[in-house]
Every structure is written in structure tokens, then in C-alpha cells.
Amino acid sequence: MTSHDMWNHRRAPEFVEGVDLAGWPVEATDGTVGKVDKHSAELDSSYLVVDTGVWVFGKEVLIPAGTITRIELDEQRIYVGLTRVQIENAPEFDRQLHLGDPAYHHGLSTHYGPGGTTA
């Protein structure tokens, strides 16, 4: 997956068409990781902010929308192609950096991308 692809959701109609995903559980490949706090469907900058709750002591992480493998509208659940370890080791979501720092997105692309930080 390229850095560009990581920030765009493959099934854009489900992600974009006015569906409020806030509060929906997020499932990693090996278990639940938290719930969606907020999301964006901006072109080349689509993402989920996931509140991991008590799982990693209330940490919020930004997950690129391109890592979403499916959205189950009926069960209101989102599945991502990431492991719990990848999400646990992700940098904590920084609202200030996210708003305009391309280096922040690049760092996340590197973390979640092939060969990224997982330990």
C-alpha cells in the first residue's frame, strides 16, 4: 500500500455518504481496539481517530482510512487490517500536528505501512 493509498478509503461511498461512525467499535485483525471518536473523509487525508479506552490507558490514535478492510453497516463495526500491537505502538493522536503537518502523516504512513514499526 502506498502512502497515498493509506489516506484514502477503498470503499469511499460507505465511508463518505453521511454515515456517522462515531462510537462504532474498531476491530483489529486480532481483536477489538476501541471506538471511533471522530473520522474524516477528506480526499488524500481520510482517517479514523480511535479512542482505545482502558486498553492502552485511554490513548487516542489516528488510523489512516486505507487500512480499513470493511465496514459492517448492519452491526455498526469497522474492521482494520492492523494488529493490536501496531495500534498500541502508534504515536498518540496529536490534534495540533494532525491539522497541518505533512510530516505527521508521513510518520503514521511509515508506522502502519509495510515494514512499519510493530514492536
Strands 77-80 and 25-28: parallel
Q: What predicted TM-score, i.e. pTM, was given to this entire model? A: 0.79
Task: State the residue range of the domain holding 98.
Answer: 3-112
- Other Cβ atoms less than 10 A from the Cβ of 80: the count is 23
pLDDT at site 119: 43
CATH of the domain at 74: 2.30.30.240
Is position 49 within any domain? yes
pLDDT at site 113: 75
The tens digit of pLDDT for each residue in 77-97 reads 999 999 998 998 888 887 777
pLDDT at site 56: 54
Is position 23 within any domain? yes
Is position 117 within any domain? no
Total number of domains in the chain: 1
pLDDT tens across the length of the chain (119 residues):
444 466 676 655 456 567 888 999 999 999 999 999 988 777 667 788 999 986 556 789 989 888 899 888 889 999 999 999 899 888 888 777 766 677 777 777 788 776 555 44
Is position 55 within any domain? yes
Do 40 and 50 contact (CB within 8 A), yes or no? no
